[in-house]
Structure 1
Amino acid sequence: MEHILRPIYQERASQSDTLGVILVTKREETISVTDTFDSVLLIVVKEADMPIFTKHYLHEDKKMAMHVITEELLNKRLNVGLDRRIVDWIFHGKIMFDRNEYLSDLRLKLQEFPFMGRKLKTGIQFSKLIRRYLEGKEFFNRGNYFDSYHHVVDSLHHLARLAVIENGLYPEVTVWSQVKKLEPSIYKLYEELVMSTESLEKRLELLFLAIEFLINSRTHDGAEHILETMLTKDTWTTQELHNDNELKYYSKDLEVFVEYLIDKGYILTESKLSKSGLIYHRHYKVDKDFVSSSYE
């Protein structure tokens, strides 16, 4: 298959904007990693008119896919964890072209998982956990147990990824295999949810208590990145938070995360009179005294 794709990636490699090319071959035990395609070419470019561009090819009975992705979008997906397949491709794919060892360095960074990178990824996963937990609790309180179950499963997945990150590793596609070794207590919660003979209502009730405890015990670490970022300014508007280069990765979960931290005392709100004189703008600031005492 490699010789069939060689003209395609060699043409791309000759372009000055191409940073690297990875070839991923389907593994029978994990065919979903390549979306059932026999081969996948991942081509990373510095810039492009479209952040991601995809083509499909066919040769005899083999199907192949090519994804051209910009460096910016790749970094976003790695930081936010939107596409764990890409992590697998970078770890296990064969590097076919590597300008200035871009892909080799990226693979090494993912393996070493720099401390600042862990803070950001911890914060992102924690914010997603908060949203899923709150939404699941709402469904539970209204008696919508199947909808609540779906959100609890997602909450446990975010807890699992947090546990892997806390242990200095990158959450891979097989995250539960990682968690079973690293944090068996969280793996046990997942087992209890899906295998217990208790009624669904009872299982959810117990899981919400356990998840709430785990959230509270992880708030210190989960909030570290956003609080450190917010300490660079005295006060923030909502739009300033969304526009920040670091905080923009939180996306739609940013506001619910901020509200959670307000409730827990980490963030304070300030009211500033608007031009109309009738309503106030709501601004946000870190409670430095509270944060200092909680991080001692």
Structure 2
Amino acid sequence: MEQATRTIYSEYAAYRETQGIIAVEKRQPRDSLTDQFDTLLVVITRDPEVEWTIKHYRLNTLKVSLHLVHEDVLSRWILLNANRRAIHWIAEGTIVFERNDYLVDLKRQLLDFPDEERHLQMTISFAKLLRRFQDGRNLFSRGHHYDAYTHVHHALHHLARLSVLEKGKHPETVVWEQARLDDPDVYKLYEQLLMSEETLDQRIHLALIGLEHLLQSKVLSGGRYLFEIMRERTDPWTMYELMEEERLQEVKVDLSSLIDFFMRKGLIRISYQTTKGAGVELVTYEPVV
């Protein structure tokens, strides 16, 4: 099959902007990893005119999907775990072309998983977990059980991802299989929500109790990335400064609720600065941990 697909990817291998090409073969009749195609090709480029595009080919009876993606987009997918299939493509795909060991180095980086990247992903997952938990709890208290169930389900998913990240691993498309091995308590809570013989409202109620307990155990790991940035200077931070901090852009939408949560847990201290307005004070924040 590699010989057949070479007809398609050889054109891209000739471009100097192309850094590497990976081939991923279909493993089963309907394989989402390859978009149901027989072969999926990932062409990584430095061409500034390319962001991410897909082309579909037919070669005799072979169906091929080709993803042409800029290396910066791919790096963002990996850093933020924004496209979990991309991690599978790199880790499990076959290198069919590369320049200067580009893909060998990329595979090695995946295995190394630098702490800064992992801590960022942990804070992102914690922020989403917190948001889903709070929304689910509020909806449940108002009697909207179906909507509450959806939020609790998503909260558990983010909790599972956080547990996997704590073990130094990338969350995969089979994150619940990872959680079953790495954090049985989270997995058991998920099973209880899905398969318990209790009524729906009882299952949601029990899941919320379990989520609140497990949420507390993830506070330090979930906030580590934020705390490390805030500790880099001695002066307290205003909310405006935190919102403008480049390294916090990926949690910007949930930053206010994160700060409020950590403040109520005694992990962030609040202080005030006088302003020109009579009786008006500017609120500032600094980490306690």
Equivalent residue, structure 1, for 2:260 = 259
Residue 126 of structure 1 pairs with residue 126 of structure 2? yes
Contact 1:126/1:162 (8 A) holds in 2: yes
Gap runs ≥5 in structure 2: none
Equivalent residue, structure 2, for 1:294 = none
Equivalent residue, structure 1, for 2:106 = 106
How far 1:281 moved relative to its partner? 8.2
TM-score (norm 2): 0.89
How many residues in Structure 1 have an aligned counterpart in Structure 2? Answer: 288
The CA distance in 2 between the partners of 1:123 and 1:16, in whole Å, is 38
Residues 283 and 98 (structure 1), Cα distance of their counterparts in 2 relative to 1, 3 Å cut: farther
Equivalent residue, structure 1, for 2:224 = 224
Contact 2:42/2:67 (8 A) holds in 1: yes
Q: What secondary structure does 1:48 align onto?
A: coil
Residues 11 and 180 (structure 1), Cα distance of their counterparts in 2 relative to 1, 3 Å cut: same
Q: Report Cα offsets for 1:208-251 as digits up to 9, x if no partner.
A: 11111111111011111111112224344545434434222325
Equivalent residue, structure 1, for 2:2 = 2
How far 1:118 moved relative to its partner? 2.2
Contact 1:269/1:284 (8 A) holds in 2: yes
How far 1:284 moved relative to its partner? 4.1
Q: Report Cα offsets for 1:82-132 as digits up to 9, x if no partner.
A: 211111111111111222222212212222323333222211211111111
Q: What secondary structure does 2:198 align onto?
A: coil
The CA distance in 2 between the partners of 1:48 and 1:274, in whole Å, is 46
Contact 2:237/2:286 (8 A) holds in 1: no
Equivalent residue, structure 1, for 2:250 = 249
Equivalent residue, structure 2, for 1:94 = 94
How far 1:161 moved relative to its partner? 1.3
Q: What secondary structure does 1:246 align onto?
A: helix
AA matched with 2:184? P
Q: What secondary structure does 1:78 align onto?
A: helix
Residues 218 and 21 (structure 1), Cα distance of their counterparts in 2 relative to 1, 3 Å cut: same
Q: Which moved more, 1:20-29 or 1:143-152?
A: 20-29
Residues 240 and 96 (structure 1), Cα distance of their counterparts in 2 relative to 1, 3 Å cut: farther
Equivalent residue, structure 2, for 1:147 = 147
Equivalent runs, 1:100-249 vs 2, <5 Å = 100-233=100-233, 234-238=235-239, 240-249=241-250
Q: What secondary structure does 1:100 align onto?
A: coil
Q: What secondary structure does 2:168 align onto?
A: coil
AA matched with 2:38? D
Q: What secondary structure does 1:232 align onto?
A: coil
Q: Identity percentage over the alignment?
A: 37
The CA distance in 1 between the partners of 2:280 and 2:46, in whole Å, is 43
TM-score (norm 1): 0.87
